[in-house]
């Protein structure tokens, strides 16, 4: 017997069915995994997946953690659509946060309205500048952007450490590796009093809306899609691959940098050696889970935020290591890729004497 | 001076070994036309599984076998997704890394901080006591020699055997290889599993020899550097060896230089990553300028489905 | 029939792909030492049948007999063990590998390298097919590559050699050499299944012919007693449309619409071709043909004309006197120069996108399909609709992906997309490649109509018949150089064949 895959006609349903199926399979696998780890699977899954949805406070936390994910993933998705693989968003986020933090620290004893906008502008510029390095190396020398953007993430992380362990360390901070707390003028406004939900969530939604319009309705979006789908056709049309690479990196880097400012000026309120639990990497999964389309990305970001909050919950209540979050995220992407394949192709079992023409 | 240099160079060889093991595996994978970006995840699973098995059984051999097996299982997941289900290789590789980082941390949590004896150094009668060469080359553990032997074997396999020719053919043009009746998917599965086993061993070298302990994320980006090494090597095994030793050297030099000239230690820690970017740039610029022989396999990263 | 069983006999072979029946109850046989033609249009089912014989596909029904015994080759290894050799239309060769490595990959028992090199040398010498075992295949000409394929087969002492469209990459003179080799093989008892749609060469070479149409056998005939026309009618199924065009009555004093003035381009890829001092000009109402064997610089020339490759020497290409060689494709379209590349899927069209979206590739500006950077989706759909009705494109609407159209219909669509924009100059490559006869005729007529309206047209094609029936003047590209220009009406196939082989002096006429 052999497995044979036969291509099925495309159906718009696949785009919705595959993610739902992937979530269901991830939950089922989580059940087995928790059982194997000697945990009560029902209780742990409840803490992981459902408990965060039961209180208002934790629902707003979905927004707090979902906002940076959605913002970064929206930016990255544009590049992924064009087959430009910026996987260094975490580094661009860090540099964005450093740029914003630099502004905040430079004016820490002033109280102008202009401080926050300046911080946000600096973070976008910082993220773009960091993303410009792999863009330049790719367009000028043909260097693989996957490796360079990733290596620069390690470098960015070390720069942040160098600053908070060194010159930017809070002089009144008992030698802890962190900066001063930002002044009131350098903090994002909170949307709902008594929660951590900040204005960055609104910006993320607006960014998703804007990205949706650009990708679905404009020549620029069409250009990106053609470069990704059929690079030769893009050249025929007179679209520039180089331009698309730059655009992808600048938008992705700018969005990640902005997300960095939101983290520093939002829930954290200062710079610390580790700013995020890997939002820049998780956003890659968010982008795929959301089918590279902004509305899907917003939904996927909420789901991923849930795995973070649920992971923290289960850590407290069930003693589950924080790493479980990464396992869930990885499984989710695996299952999405697999269900995608399974839905695009029909599996056919063929007789034992079938030749190796098995892959359609 | 030489008394200082010899331990440094011996340490560089040691630091290079995990890079070399992983890069040799990935080189074969890429020669078959498959791009597996999940080395970091496979290495971590290998490091964790190898450590746990060695700890539980008390046998290093069991540890190494478990590491290779863990790497292969991870590679199998990747292969099913990309080869059987035609999933995007870049996305699948990234997922493999994220999944491997998480799963190794989750399953490995009980083993953090536990001690395990390091892999024994092989004392080769007579050679180990040679001046200079003895401490430099002949006081390592078996995996170090294995990694060099693996390079030689890989070169011989790729360039001197019919099976190796078929593997290269599949990476060069899957359609043409298929038309000649070569089993493209089966060959790519085999190459992927080999890459997984080598990445697993690379991880085990870290957790059983380099720093004999297990901790989360202990590969620290070495999987990615191994990927860069494959590009550096122009897909040739011996050049991967040279590259690995160069990178191992950079890693050791930065350790020894920490704090020199009053510079912050982070600046030295950046060196391997910055060096990777620079080397990739030089390699790419040279191949763009018409350098010969540094061409990637023509079908690298392209999914294959037999046409009707 | 004699007592000797046929070398190969097919009975009732049927193969379906979903709803499409590619082979429908096909039966015929090939005798030992016979050169048997399998004739049919593109899409008639020849390639599917060949893949079944070679074990790459399994039939849904039917029986294959080999020397009288029922066999079922499950893969090419099994087919080769039986003694079936195969020379593909699209070579299964590896550019980066040497000739010897390429040959070793096609052999099941890979012996010692030196022994193999010696066998290659002896076989290629005895059949007059010279090869250097150590050369990289990427550096070989198309004809030499075919030699590699043939020698690879001959090393296994085949009893049946299947040749799929072998002359499509050869000059007429090279084809004659190939025929001599095939006749000699047949005389030695090797059967040959010769797949082609070129009827003249079938009449010259083959003893019998099986004609396929729409997946079925429509006739078995002796090509020697048929005319090319009668076989063509069997192949196509209705009265043959002749698209022979009268030469245009272009007044020679009218200024050229397209002039290419000493275009140079260095070789870029590892195995690419350099263009050297390309010169020609095309006037209003004229169709200019560029013939040549594949891989002699056609792709490079097309990129240079379309603007996918640019040079700083702006005057190297001029449209109505305006230099454009330093501009990109879109700027050239604004100047009136439109191009249509050979490859439909992924070059002239994005397969995964709708027909409406595909209009945006080349017509977004000229047809006003965008406004301030925003796509006017209704306008794009309407323009796509216009193409579909004007060019009789068979499709379920304009929102279906381009990949859902057959090759001929998609080609009509992309040709229509360019023609409806009324280009001043149109350059098309292989306009009827892989297209059924009906669509090919429609495309030829549309091109002739465009010329009549005053446009200048360049057709780059490997199909000599197409060029001879369609063009006014013709030149040949060989090794990146363009030959002198010939009047199509006065040219002979022999003359073009010599030019295709690169046998041209440096003389060029000024035209």
pLDDT at A37: 81
Q: How far apart are CA C136 and CA C271, in angstroms?
A: 10
> Residue C510 — pLDDT band, cuts 50, 70, 90?
very low
pLDDT at A358: 33
Distance in Å, alpha carbon of B41 to nearest chain A alpha carbon:
10
Distance in Å, alpha carbon of A5 to nearest chain C alpha carbon:
13
Q: Is the pLDDT of residue A4 over 70?
A: no
Q: Residues A150, A152, A156, A162: is their CA dihedral positive or negative? A: positive
How far is residue A330 CA from its own chain's centroid? 13
Higher-confidence residue of C284 and C156: namely: C284
Chain A residue whose CA is closest to B85: A341
Tens of pLDDT, residue by residue over A175-216, are 889 999 999 888 998 888 888 888 899 999 999 999 999 999
Whether B284 sits inside 8 A of A144 (CB atoms) is yes
> Quick one: DSSP state of residue C402?
G
Mean pLDDT confidence for C33-44: 85
Q: Which residues pair with A348 in a beta bridge?
A: A4
Chains touching B, CB cut-off 8 Å, 3+ pairs: A, C
> In chain C, what percentage of residues exceed pLDDT 90?
50
Whether A155 sits inside 8 A of B88 (CB atoms) is no
pLDDT at A51: 85
CATH architecture for the domain at C258-500: 3-Layer(aba) Sandwich (3.40)
pLDDT at C502: 66
Helix and strand numbers, DSSP H then E, in chain C: 16, 23
Distance in Å, alpha carbon of A59 to nearest chain C alpha carbon:
37
Q: Is the pLDDT of residue A172 over 90?
A: no
Least confident of B11-15, C218-222, C238-242: C238-242
Mean pLDDT confidence for B190-213: 96
pLDDT at A7: 57
pLDDT at C511: 37
pLDDT at B298: 85
Tens of pLDDT, residue by residue over C245-284, are 665 555 556 789 999 999 999 987 666 789 999 999 999 9
pLDDT at C504: 54
Task: Select the residue of B166, B172, B179 nearest C56 (Cβ to Cβ).
Answer: B179
Chain B positions touching A44 (Cβ under 8 A) are none
Name the residue ranges covered by the structural domains of chain A. 78-191+198-291
Q: How far apart are CA A65 and CA B35, in angstroms?
A: 32
Average pLDDT, rounded, for chain C: 87
Chain B positions touching C51 (Cβ under 8 A) are 308
Residue whose structure tokens are 């109505």: C320
> In chain B, what percentage of residues exceed pLDDT 70?
95
Mean pLDDT confidence for C99-114: 82
Task: Select the residue of B165, B173, B178 nearest C101 (Cβ to Cβ).
Answer: B165
In terms of average pLDDT, the best of A280-289, C15-24, C89-98 is A280-289
Q: How far apart are CA B168 and CA A261, in angstroms?
A: 48
Q: Is the pLDDT of residue C432 over 60?
A: yes
The number of C-alpha atoms within 13 Å of A263 and in the hemisphere containing its C-beta is 32
Q: How far apart are CA C5 and CA B272, in angstroms?
A: 71
Chain C positions touching A222 (Cβ under 8 A) are 357, 360, 375
> Residue C506 — pLDDT band, cuts 50, 70, 90?
very low
In terms of average pLDDT, the best of A198-212, B249-263, C424-438 is A198-212
Whether C370 sits inside 8 A of A10 (CB atoms) is no
Tens of pLDDT, residue by residue over C168-209, are 778 888 888 889 999 999 999 999 999 987 778 888 899 999
3-class secondary-structure state, position C271: coil
Do residues C160 and C84 lie in contact, with contact meaning Cβ atoms separated by under 8 Å?
yes
SS (H, E, C) C104-129: HHCCCCCCCHHHHHHHHHHHHHHCCC
Size of interface B-C (CB pairs under 8 A): 55
Q: Is the pLDDT of residue C41 over 80?
A: no
Chain C positions touching B298 (Cβ under 8 A) are 95-96
- CATH code for residues C8-236: 3.40.50.300
C270 vs B: CB within 8 A: yes
pLDDT at B101: 92
Among C55, C337, C375, C401, the strongest candidate for a mutation testing the A interface, having the largest count of A CBs within 10 A, is C375
Tens of pLDDT, residue by residue over C284-317, are 999 999 998 878 899 999 999 999 999 999 999 9
Assign residue C459 a region: left if phi > 0, alpha if psi is -120 to 50, beta otherwise? beta
Mean pLDDT confidence for B244-263: 84
Tell how strand C61-66 and strand C69-71 pair up: antiparallel
Q: Is the pLDDT of residue C109 over 80?
A: no
Q: Is the pLDDT of residue B214 over 60?
A: yes
Size of interface A-C (CB pairs under 8 A): 77
Mean pLDDT confidence for B48-70: 96
> Quick one: DSSP state of residue A267?
I
Do residues C383 and C363 lie in contact, with contact meaning Cβ atoms separated by under 8 Å?
yes
Q: How far apart are CA B138 and CA C53, in angstroms?
A: 59
3-class secondary-structure state, position C35: strand
Comparing CA positions, the residue from B255, B254, B244 lying closest to residue B279 is B244
SS (H, E, C) chain B: CHHHHHHHHHHHHHHHHHHHHHHHHHHHHHHCCCCCCCHHHHHHHHHHHHHHHHHHHCCHHHHHHHHHHHHHHHHHHHHHHHHHCCCCHHHHHHHHHHHHHHHHHHHHHHHCCCCCCCCCECCCCCHHHCCCHHHHHCCCEHHHHHHHHHHHHHHHHHHHCHHHHHHHHHHHCHHHHHHCCCCHHHHHHHHHHHHHHHHHHHHHHHHHHHCCCCCCCCCCCHHHHHHHHHHHCCCCHHHHHHHHHHHHHHHHHHHHHCCHHHCCHHHHHCHHHHHHHHHHHHHHHHHHCCCCCCCCCCCCCCCCCCCC
Is the fold of C8-236 the same as that of C258-500?
yes
> Quick one: DSSP state of residue A210?
H
> Residue B53 — pLDDT band, cuts 50, 70, 90?
very high
Helix and strand numbers, DSSP H then E, in chain A: 13, 2
Q: How far apart are CA C496 and CA C179, in angstroms?
A: 19
Q: Is the pLDDT of residue A5 over 80?
A: no
Would you state the torsion angle of the CA atoms of residues A260, A266, A268, A269, taken in this order, to the nearest 10 degrees?
A: 100
Mean pLDDT confidence for C120-129: 84
Higher-confidence residue of B27 and B140: namely: B27
pLDDT at B163: 93
B183 class by beta-carbon count within 10 Å (0-12 exposed, 13-18 middle, 19+ buried): middle
Distance in Å, alpha carbon of B79 to nearest chain C alpha carbon:
23
Tens of pLDDT, residue by residue over A39-54, are 888 888 888 888 888 8
Task: Select the residue of C51, C91, C105 nearest B169 (Cβ to Cβ).
Answer: C105
- The residues on A that touch C, with CB distances below 8 Å, are 10, 217-220, 222, 225-226, 229-230, 232-233, 235-238, 240, 353-357
pLDDT at C332: 96
pLDDT at C269: 67
Q: Is the pLDDT of residue B235 over 70?
A: yes
Chain A positions touching B228 (Cβ under 8 A) are 147, 151
Name the residue ranges covered by the structural domains of chain C. 8-236, 258-500
Chain B residue whose CA is closest to A334: B95
pLDDT at C481: 92
Average pLDDT, rounded, for chain B: 89
Q: Is the pLDDT of residue B218 over 90?
A: yes
Mean pLDDT confidence for A61-87: 95
Distance in Å, alpha carbon of C239 to nearest chain A alpha carbon:
37
Q: How far apart are CA C255 and CA C284, in angstroms?
A: 8
Tens of pLDDT, residue by residue over B127-146, are 777 777 777 777 778 899 99
Q: Is the pLDDT of residue C239 over 70?
A: no
Whether B165 sits inside 8 A of C56 (CB atoms) is no
Q: How far apart are CA B299 and CA C343, in angstroms?
A: 19
Chain A positions touching B166 (Cβ under 8 A) are none
In terms of average pLDDT, the best of A313-327, C153-167, C224-238 is C153-167
Where do runs of H (alpha helix) occur along C273-432? 298-306, 329-335, 355-363, 377-390, 407-419
Chains touching A, CB cut-off 8 Å, 3+ pairs: B, C
Comparing CA positions, the residue from C386, C398, C299 lying closest to residue C349 is C398
Give the tokens for residue B79: 């292969």
> In chain A, what percentage of residues exceed pLDDT 70?
91
> Residue A2 — pLDDT band, cuts 50, 70, 90?
very low
Comparing CA positions, the residue from A83, A57, A103, A66 lying closest to residue A259 is A66
pLDDT at C505: 44
Which residues 6+ apart lie within 8 Å of C74 measured at CB? Answer: A353, A354, A355, C55, C58
Q: How far apart are CA C493 and CA C465, in angstroms?
A: 9
Q: How far apart are CA A93 and CA A128, in angstroms?
A: 10
Higher-confidence residue of B134 and B189: namely: B189
Chain B residue whose CA is closest to C153: B180
Chain B positions touching A48 (Cβ under 8 A) are none
> Residue B4 — pLDDT band, cuts 50, 70, 90?
confident
Touching B: C residues 73-92, CB under 8 Å = 75-77, 79-80, 88, 91-92
Q: How far is CA C116 from CA C99, C109, C121, C154, C365, in A?
A: 11, 10, 9, 13, 59
Mean pLDDT confidence for C460-486: 90
Whether A141 sits inside 8 A of B81 (CB atoms) is no
pLDDT at A349: 46
Mean pLDDT confidence for A77-81: 95
Least confident of B291-300, C36-45, C72-81: B291-300
Tens of pLDDT, residue by residue over B74-103, are 999 999 999 998 888 888 998 899 899 999
Q: What is the pTM of this model?
A: 0.86
Average pLDDT, rounded, for chain A: 88
Mean pLDDT confidence for B57-73: 96
Q: Which structural domains are found in chain B, ordered by start? A: 2-288 (1.10.3470)
Task: Select the residue of C75, C77, C104 nearest B165 (Cβ to Cβ).
Answer: C104
Comparing CA positions, the residue from B224, B184, B235 lying closest to residue B30 is B235
pLDDT at C237: 67
Whether C58 sits inside 8 A of A354 (CB atoms) is yes
């Amino acid at each position: 017997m052999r497995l044979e895959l036969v291509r099925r006609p495309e159906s718009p349903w696949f785009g919705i069915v595959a993610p739902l199926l992937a979530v269901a399979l991830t939950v089922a696998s989580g059940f087995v995994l928790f059982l194997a780890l000697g945990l009560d699977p029902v209780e742990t899954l409840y803490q992981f997946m459902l408990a965060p949805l039961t209180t208002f406070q934790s629902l707003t936390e979905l927004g707090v953690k979902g906002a940076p994910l959605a913002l970064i993933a929206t930016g990255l998705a544009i590049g992924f659509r064009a087959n430009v693989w910026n996987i260094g968003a975490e580094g661009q986020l860090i540099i964005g946060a450093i740029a914003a933090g630099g502004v905040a620290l430079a004016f820490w004893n002033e109280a102008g309205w202009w401080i926050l906008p300046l911080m946000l502008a600096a973070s976008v510029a910082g993220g773009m500048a960091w993303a410009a390095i792999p863009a330049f190396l790719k367009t000028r020398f043909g260097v693989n952007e996957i490796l360079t953007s990733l290596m620069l993430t390690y470098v960015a992380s070390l720069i942040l450490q160098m600053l908070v362990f060194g010159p930017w360390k809070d002089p009144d901070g008992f030698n802890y590796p962190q900066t001063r707390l930002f002044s009131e003028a350098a903090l994002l406004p909170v949307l709902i009093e008594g929660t951590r939900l900040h204005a960055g969530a609104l910006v993320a939604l607006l960014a998703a809306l804007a990205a949706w319009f650009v990708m679905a309705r404009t020549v620029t979006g069409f250009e990106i899609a053609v470069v990704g789908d059929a690079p030769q056709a893009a050249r025929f049309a007179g679209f520039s691959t180089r331009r698309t690479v730059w655009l992808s990196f600048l938008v992705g880097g700018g969005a990640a940098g902005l997300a960095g400012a939101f983290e520093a000026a939002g829930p954290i309120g200062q710079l610390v050696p580790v700013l995020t639990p890997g939002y820049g990497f998780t956003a890659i999964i968010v982008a795929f889970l959301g089918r590279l389309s902004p509305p899907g990305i917003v939904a996927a970001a909420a789901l991923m935020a849930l795995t973070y909050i649920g992971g923290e919950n289960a850590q407290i209540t069930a003693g589950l290591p924080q790493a479980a979050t990464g396992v869930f995220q990885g499984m989710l992407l695996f299952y999405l890729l697999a269900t995608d394949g399974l839905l695009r192709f029909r599996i056919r079992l063929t007789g034992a004497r079938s030749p190796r023409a098995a892959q359609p | 001076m030489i008394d200082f240099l010899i331990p440094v160079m011996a340490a560089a060889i040691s630091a290079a070994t995990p890079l070399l093991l992983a890069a040799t595996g990935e080189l074969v994978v890429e020669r078959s036309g498959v791009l597996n970006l999940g080395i970091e995840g496979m290495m971590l699973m290998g490091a964790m599984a190898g450590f746990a098995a060695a700890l539980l059984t008390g046998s290093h051999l069991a540890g190494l076998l478990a590491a290779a097996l863990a790497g292969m299982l991870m590679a199998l997941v990747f292969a099913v997704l990309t080869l059987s289900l035609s999933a995007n290789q870049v996305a699948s590789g990234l997922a493999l890394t994220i999944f491997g980082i998480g799963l190794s941390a989750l399953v490995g949590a009980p083993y953090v901080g536990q001690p395990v004896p390091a892999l024994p150094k092989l004392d080769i009668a007579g050679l180990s006591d040679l001046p200079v060469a003895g401490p430099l080359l002949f006081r390592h553990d078996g995996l170090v020699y294995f990694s060099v032997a693996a390079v030689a074997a890989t070169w011989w396999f790729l360039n001197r055997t019919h099976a190796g020719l078929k593997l290269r053919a599949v990476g060069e043009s899957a359609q043409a290889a298929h038309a000649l009746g070569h089993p493209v998917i089966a060959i790519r599965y085999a190459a992927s599993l080999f890459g997984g086993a080598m990445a697993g061993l690379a991880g085990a070298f870290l957790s059983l020899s380099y720093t004999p302990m297990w901790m989360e994320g202990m590969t620290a980006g070495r999987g990615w550097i191994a990927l860069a090494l494959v590009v550096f090597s122009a897909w040739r095994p011996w050049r991967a060896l040279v590259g690995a030793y160069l990178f191992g050297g950079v890693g050791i030099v930065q350790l020894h230089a920490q704090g020199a000239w009053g510079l912050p230690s982070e600046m030295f820690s950046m060196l391997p990553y910055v060096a990777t970017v620079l080397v990739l740039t030089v390699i790419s610029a040279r191949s763009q300028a018409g350098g010969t022989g540094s061409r990637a396999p023509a079908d690298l990263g392209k999914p294959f489905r037999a046409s009707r | 029939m004699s007592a000797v069983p046929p070398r190969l006999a097919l009975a009732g072979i049927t193969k379906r792909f979903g709803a499409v029946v590619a082979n429908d109850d096909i039966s015929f046989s090939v005798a030992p030492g016979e050169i048997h033609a399998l004739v049919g249009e593109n899409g008639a089912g020849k390639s599917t049948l060949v893949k079944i014989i070679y074990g790459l596909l399994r039939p849904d029904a039917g029986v294959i007999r080999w020397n009288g015994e029922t066999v079922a080759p499950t893969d090419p290894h099994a087919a080769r063990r039986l003694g079936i050799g195969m020379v593909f239309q699209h070579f299964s060769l590896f550019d980066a590998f040497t000739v010897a490595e390429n040959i070793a990959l096609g052999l099941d028992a890979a012996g010692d390298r030196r022994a193999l090199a010696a066998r290659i040398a002896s076989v290629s010498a005895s059949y007059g097919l010279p090869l250097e075992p150590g050369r990289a295949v990427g550096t070989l000409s198309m004809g030499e590559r075919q030699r590699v394929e043939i020698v690879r087969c001959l090393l296994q002492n085949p009893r049946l050699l299947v040749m799929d469209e072998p002359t499509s990459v050869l000059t007429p003179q090279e084809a004659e050499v190939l025929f001599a080799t095939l006749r000699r093989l047949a005389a030695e008892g090797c059967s040959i299944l010769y797949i082609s749609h070129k009827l003249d060469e079938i009449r010259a070479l083959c003893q019998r012919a099986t004609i396929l149409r729409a997946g079925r056998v429509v006739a078995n005939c002796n090509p020697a007693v048929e005319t090319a026309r009668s076989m063509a009618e069997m192949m196509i199924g209705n009265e043959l449309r002749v698209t022979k065009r009268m030469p245009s009555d272009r007044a020679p004093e009218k200024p050229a619409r397209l002039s290419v003035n000493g275009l140079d381009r260095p070789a870029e890829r590892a195995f690419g071709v350099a263009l050297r001092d390309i010169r020609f000009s095309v006037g209003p109402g004229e169709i200019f043909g560029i013939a040549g064997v594949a891989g002699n610089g056609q792709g490079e020339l097309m990129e240079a004309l379309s603007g996918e490759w640019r040079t700083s020497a702006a005057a190297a290409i001029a449209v109505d006197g305006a230099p454009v060689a330093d501009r990109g494709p879109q700027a050239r379209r604004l100047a009136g120069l439109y191009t249509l590349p050979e490859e439909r899927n992924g070059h002239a069209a994005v397969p995964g996108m709708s027909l409406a979206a595909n209009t945006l590739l080349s017509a977004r500006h000229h047809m006003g399909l965008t406004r301030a950077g925003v796509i006017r989706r209704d306008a794009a759909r309407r323009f796509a609709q216009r193409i579909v009705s004007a060019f009789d494109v068979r499709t379920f609407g304009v929102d279906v992906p381009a990949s859902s159209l057959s090759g001929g219909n998609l080609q009509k669509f992309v040709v229509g997309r360019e023609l409806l924009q009324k280009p001043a100059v149109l350059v098309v490559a292989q306009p009827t490649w892989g297209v059924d006869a009906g669509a090919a005729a429609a495309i030829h007529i549309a091109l002739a109509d465009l010329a009549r309206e005053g446009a200048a047209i360049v057709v780059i094609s490997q199909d000599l018949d197409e060029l001879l029936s369609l063009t006014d003047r013709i030149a040949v590209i060989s090794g990146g150089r363009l030959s002198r220009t010939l009047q199509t009406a006065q040219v002979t196939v022999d003359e073009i064949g010599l030019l295709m082989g690169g046998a041209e002096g440096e003389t060029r006429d000024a035209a």
